[in-house]
C-alpha cells in the first residue's frame, strides 16, 4: 500500500541517533485558528528574531499566544522545527487555556520528532497525561498518534502498533483511513520473527492485524493454502477494521492459483561475458526453489543458455519442451527481440527493462533499475515537504540517465531542481562541490559589500540556501570524496540522499566514516534482517557470499517467486510481494521495487524503517 496523501514524511530510524522523518496524523489540514483570532496575522517572518519581536509587539497576551502558535505551525510546515521549538519555548504552558495548551503540546511534540528526538515528545505527553485524559476524544486521539510515532522512532514498533490500534475507534473517518494505512506500513516493517512473536503475545484487533500481515507477507506460501487461511481469517475476524481488504485479496489469490505454471523455462547466460551474472542469478533461483519445495508444490525448472545470438531459437525450444512460463532473458536486446514478436505463446518475465512501451499483454519485466531508486528518492523528498533539490552525478551516460530519472519524477511532482552538476572522480571533486554550493560567490559578495561600508561585515563564506536536499549518485569511493567536500564547504547540515550504489553491501566502518549522514535506499536482502531462514540457507551454501553480485543473487530469489505471483500483482493493484530486493508491485507490466531506507552512522549502514508520525500542521479547530 502507498500513502493516500503526499505530506511531510521523514525517515525514522530504529536507532536513537538515526535520522528520521514524518508523515501526517490527524486530518492533515493546515493549522488554523478562529478568524477573529488570526485577523492581522501576516505570514511568519523568515527571521526568528524578527518573528519574536513582532510577537512581543502585540497588544494583548492572547494575541501573542495565538501568533506564536500559528507561526510555530508555519515553521513546521517549512521544515524549520528548531525555530518552531524556540518559539514554543517562549510560551509558559501554565498561562495557557486548556485549548491552547493542547495546541502547544501537539506542536511541541511534532517539533521534537522532526528533529529526530522522540524523548522530549514522550516526556511531554507523560507530564500532561492526567490533563490529556480530560480532553475531548478527538484531541486525545491526535496525541495518542503522536505517542505512537514517538514509540516507532524509538524502535518500539509493536508498542507503536498497540497505540494506533487502541486509538483507531476514536478517530474520524478520514483519520481512520490514514491510520489504517499507517498500521499496515508498520506491519510491513516487522521481521517474520517479530510478527510471529507478537502474535503469540497479542489479542483483540492487534492480533487480527498481525495474523493478516503474516498471512499476506508469506512469499513462499502455497496459493491454495493462502486462500484457505484467508477464508479462515475472515470467518474469525468478521468485525475487524481490515475486513474490507480481504475479498479482493481472496479473489485475486484464487485466480493466481489457477494460473500457476507447472514448467518454468529459465533463459540465462551460462556462456559469454555475462556468465558470472547468469550463474549468480541461477543460484538465487535455485535457493528460492528448494525453500518453496519444502512447503508446497513447485514447478519443474529447465535452464537454457541465452548466451547464443539466436535468442528466438532458444525461446522456441523452451516452448517446444513444454514450458508454460519463461523467465528471462537477461539482455535488454534479447528481451526486446522476444517482445517484438507480438502475442507470445506463454507468459514471459524478462530480467531487464526494455526501451519501449508497446509490449505483448503477457510480457513482463523485472530488474534492478537504478532509475526506480532515483524516482523513489524523489517521491520521498516530496513527502518530506521539500521543494528544491540539487543533483550531483558522475559524468557519463549512466550517471546522466539516473539523474534524469530523478529530475523528471521530481519535476512531475512539482519540485524544482535548483542546480545539477556532473563530477569527475579525482582531485577535482572538491572544486565541483564548491561550485555546486556557490561558496566562492558568497565569499565574493561579502567582500564586495564590505568595500562600501565602514561597518564590520560578516563575510564568512556560506553555501547556497536554495536546496532542501542533495541527490547524490556515487559509488562508495566517490561518496567518500564528495561527503567530506560537502562538510568542508559549509554543507554539513545539508541532507544527502543516494541510491544503493553508495553502499558496497559489506561492512567497512573505518572507510565508511566519510559517508556518515548519507541516507540511501537499498534492498532488504542487504540492509534488512540477516537472521531469516533464507539468509541462513544462503550462508550455509555460500559462506563467502557473492561479493559484488550479492544483489543479483537476491534478484534471482525474487525472480523465482514472481513466477507464481505475477498474476496476482498484475490483477490486484494494491497487492505486493515482500521480496528480497524490495516490496514488489506491478506498474504497466513492469515489476517495480520499493526499497528500504538506511543511513550511515559511525561508518555502518543502519536500517531505517519508514513509519509515520505527525505532520506539519494542527487540525482545524
DSSP string, 276-320: HHHHHHHHHHHHHHHHHHTTS---EEEEEE--SS-HHHHHHHHHH
- What's the pLDDT score for residue 38? 47
Cross-sheet strand order for the sheet of 583-587: 300-305, 263-268, 325-327, 347-350, 363-365, 590-594, 583-587, 577-578
List, for residues 40-97, the tens digit of each pLDDT value: 567 889 899 999 999 999 889 999 999 999 999 999 988 889 999 999 999 999 999 9
> Do the Cβ atoms of 335 and 269 come closer than 8 Å?
no
Q: How far apart are CA 406 and CA 417, in angstroms?
A: 10
Please compute the mean of the pLDDT values over residues 195-220 and round it to a whole number.
88
Say whether pLDDT at 10 is over 90. no
- What's the pLDDT score for residue 193? 77
Whether 388 maps to a domain, the answer reads yes
If pLDDT is split at 50, 70 and 90, which confidence band does 371 have? Answer: very high
Whether 393 maps to a domain, the answer reads yes
> Do the Cβ atoms of 502 and 472 come closer than 8 Å?
yes
List, for residues 377-412, the tens digit of each pLDDT value: 999 998 787 899 999 999 999 999 999 999 999 999
Q: Residue 568: which of 553, 586, 581, 552 has the closest Cα?
A: 586
Q: Which of 149, 168, 193 is the last residue of a domain?
A: 193
Say whether pLDDT at 12 is over 60. no
Burial 307-330 (b: 16+ CB within 10 A, else e): beeebeebbeebeeeebbbbbbbb
- What's the pLDDT score for residue 178? 78
> Do the Cβ atoms of 352 and 335 come closer than 8 Å?
yes
- What's the pLDDT score for residue 109? 95
List, for residues 449-489, the tens digit of each pLDDT value: 344 444 454 455 677 888 999 999 999 999 999 999 999 98
Q: How far apart are CA 281 and CA 269, in angstroms?
A: 10
Indicate whether 226 and 163 sit together in one domain.
no
Number of domains observed in the structure of the chain: 3
Indicate whether 70 and 207 sit together in one domain.
no
If pLDDT is split at 50, 70 and 90, which confidence band does 510 have? Answer: very high
Q: Which of 193, 214, 245 is the last residue of a domain?
A: 193
pTM: 0.72
Indicate whether 189 and 201 sit together in one domain.
no
Indicate whether 187 and 51 sit together in one domain.
yes
Indicate whether 151 and 241 sit together in one domain.
no
Say whether pLDDT at 618 is over 80. no
> Do the Cβ atoms of 242 and 212 come closer than 8 Å?
yes
- Judged by average pLDDT, the poorest of 217-226, 270-279, 408-417, 475-484 is 217-226
Indicate whether 59 and 122 sit together in one domain.
yes
Whether 88 maps to a domain, the answer reads yes
Indicate whether 393 and 526 sit together in one domain.
yes
- What's the pLDDT score for residue 23? 34
Whether 314 maps to a domain, the answer reads no
Say whether pLDDT at 339 is over 80. yes
Whether 444 maps to a domain, the answer reads yes
Indicate whether 141 and 72 sit together in one domain.
yes
Q: Please give the sequence-ordered ranges of beta strands (E in DSSP) within 445-589, or none if there are none.
A: 469-472, 496-498, 519-522, 577-578, 583-587
Instruction: Pull the grid cell for residue 566.
Output: 505475477
Whether 213 maps to a domain, the answer reads yes
- What's the pLDDT score for residue 469? 95
Whether 235 maps to a domain, the answer reads yes
- What's the pLDDT score for residue 426? 81
Q: Which of 234, 258, 282 is the last residue of a domain?
A: 258
Mean pLDDT score across all residues of the chain: 84
Q: Where in the sequence is the domain holding 160, given as residue range(s)?
A: 35-193
Please compute the mean of the pLDDT values over residues 321-327 and round it to a whole number.
97
Q: Which CATH number characterizes residue 54's domain?
A: 1.25.40
Indicate whether 55 and 172 sit together in one domain.
yes
Q: How far apart are CA 325 and CA 371, in angstroms?
A: 27
List, for residues 167-180, the tens digit of each pLDDT value: 988 887 877 887 88
Indicate whether 390 and 515 sit together in one domain.
yes
Whether 559 maps to a domain, the answer reads no
Indicate whether 405 and 374 sit together in one domain.
yes
Please compute the mean of the pLDDT values over residues 28-49 and round it to a whole number.
58
Q: What is the largest CA-CA distance in the chain?
A: 89
Please compute the mean of the pLDDT values over residues 92-107 and round it to a whole number.
94
Indicate whether 187 and 243 sit together in one domain.
no
Amino acid at each position: 500500500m502507498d500513502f493516500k496523501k503526499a505530506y511531510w514524511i521523514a525517515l525514522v530510524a530504529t536507532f536513537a541517533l538515526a535520522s528520521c522523518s514524518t508523515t501526517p496524523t490527524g486530518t492533515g489540514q493546515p493549522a488554523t485558528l478562529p478568524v477573529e483570532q488570526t485577523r492581522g496575522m501576516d505570514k511568519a517572518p523568515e527571521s526568528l528574531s524578527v518573528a519574536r519581536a513582532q510577537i512581543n509587539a502585540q497588544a494583548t497576551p492572547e494575541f501573542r499566544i495565538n501568533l506564536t502558535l500559528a507561526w510555530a505551525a508555519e515553521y513546521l510546515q517549512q521544515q524549520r522545527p528548531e525555530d518552531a521549538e524556540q518559539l514554543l519555548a517562549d510560551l509558559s504552558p501554565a498561562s495557557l487555556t486548556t485549548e491552547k495548551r493542547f495546541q502547544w503540546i501537539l506542536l511541541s511534540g511534532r517539533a521534537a520528532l522532526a528533529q529526530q528526538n522522540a524523548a522530549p515528545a514522550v516526556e511531554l505527553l507523560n507530564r500532561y497525561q492526567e490533563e490529556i485524559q480530560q480532553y475531548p476524544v478527538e484531541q486525545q486521539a491526535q496525541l495518542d498518534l503522536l505517542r505512537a510515532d514517538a514509540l516507532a522512532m524509538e524502535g518500539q514498533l509493536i508498542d507503536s502498533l498497540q497505540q494506533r490500534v487502541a486509538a483507531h475507534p476514536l478517530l474520524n473517518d478520514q483519520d481512520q483511513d490514514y491510520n489504517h494505512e499507517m498500521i499496515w506500513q508498520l506491519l510491513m516493517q516487522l521481521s517474520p520473527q517479530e510478527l510471529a512473536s507478537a502474535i503469540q503475545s497479542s489479542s483483540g484487533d492487534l492480533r487480527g492485524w498481525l495474523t493478516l500481515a503474516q498471512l499476506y507477507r508469506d512469499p513462499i506460501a502455497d496459493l491454495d493454502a493462502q486462500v484457505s487461511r484467508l477464508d479462515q481469517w475472515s470467518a474469525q475476524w468478521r468485525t475487524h477494521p481490515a475486513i474490507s481488504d480481504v475479498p479482493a485479496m481472496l479473489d485475486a489469490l484464487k485466480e493466481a492459483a489457477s494460473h500457476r505454471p507447472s514448467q518454468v523455462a529459465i533463459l540465462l547466460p551460462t556462456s559469454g561475458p555475462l556468465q558470472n551474472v547468469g550463474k549468480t542469478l541461477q543460484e538465487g533461483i535455485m535457493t528460492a526453489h528448494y525453500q518453496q519445495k519444502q512447503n508446497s508444490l513447485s514447478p519443474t525448472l529447465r535452464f537454457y543458455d541465452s548466451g547464443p545470438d539466436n535468442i528466438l531459437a532458444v525461446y522456441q525450444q523452451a516452448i517446444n519442451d513444454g514450458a508454460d512460463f519463461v523467465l528471462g532473458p537477461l539482455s535488454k536486446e534479447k528481451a526486446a527481440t522476444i517482445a517484438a514478436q507480438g502475442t507470445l505463446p506463454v507468459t514471459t518475465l524478462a530480467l531487464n527493462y526494455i526501451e519501449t512501451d508497446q509490449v505483448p499483454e503477457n510480457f513482463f519485466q523485472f530488474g534492478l533499475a537504478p532509475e526506480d531508486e532515483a524516482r523513489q528518492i524523489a517521491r520521498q523528498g516530496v513527502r518530506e515537504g521539500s521543494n528544491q533539490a540539487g543533483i550531483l552525478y558522475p559524468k557519463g551516460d549512466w550517471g546522466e540517465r539516473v539523474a534524469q530519472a530523478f529530475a523528471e519524477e521530481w519535476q512531475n511532482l512539482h519540485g524544482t531542481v535548483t542546480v545539477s552538476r556532473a563530477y569527475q572522480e579525482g582531485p577535482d571533486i572538491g572544486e565541483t562541490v564548491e561550485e555546486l554550493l556557490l561558496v566562492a560567490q558568497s565569499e565574493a559578495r561579502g567582500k564586495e559589500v564590505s568595500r562600501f561600508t565602514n561597518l564590520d561585515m560578516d563575510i564568512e563564506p556560506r553555501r547556497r540556501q536554495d536546496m532542501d536536499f542533495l541527490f547524490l549518485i556515487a559509488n562508495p569511493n566517490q561518496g567518500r570524496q564528495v561527503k567530506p567536500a560537502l562538510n568542508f564547504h559549509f554543507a554539513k547540515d545539508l541532507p544527502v540522499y543516494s541510491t544503493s550504489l553508495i553502499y558496497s553491501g559489506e561492512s567497512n566502518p573505518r572507510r565508511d566514516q566519510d559517508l556518515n549522514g548519507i541516507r540511501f535506499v537499498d534492498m532488504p536482502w542487504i540492509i534488512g534482517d540477516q537472521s531469516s531462514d533464507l539468509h541462513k540457507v544462503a550462508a550455509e551454501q555460500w559462506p563467502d557470499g557473492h561479493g559484488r553480485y550479492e544483489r543479483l543473487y537476491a534478484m534471482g530469489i525474487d525472480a523465482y517467486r514472481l513466477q507464481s505471483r505475477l498474476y496476482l500483482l498484475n490483477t490486484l493493484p494494491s497487492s505486493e510481494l515482500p521480496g528480497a530486493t524490495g516490496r514488489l508491485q506491478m506498474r504497466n507490466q513492469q515489476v517495480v521495487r520499493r526499497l528500504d531506507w538506511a543511513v550511515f552512522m559511525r561508518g555502518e549502514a543502519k536500517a531505517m524503517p519508514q513509519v509515520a508520525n505527525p505532520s506539519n500542521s494542527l487540525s482545524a479547530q
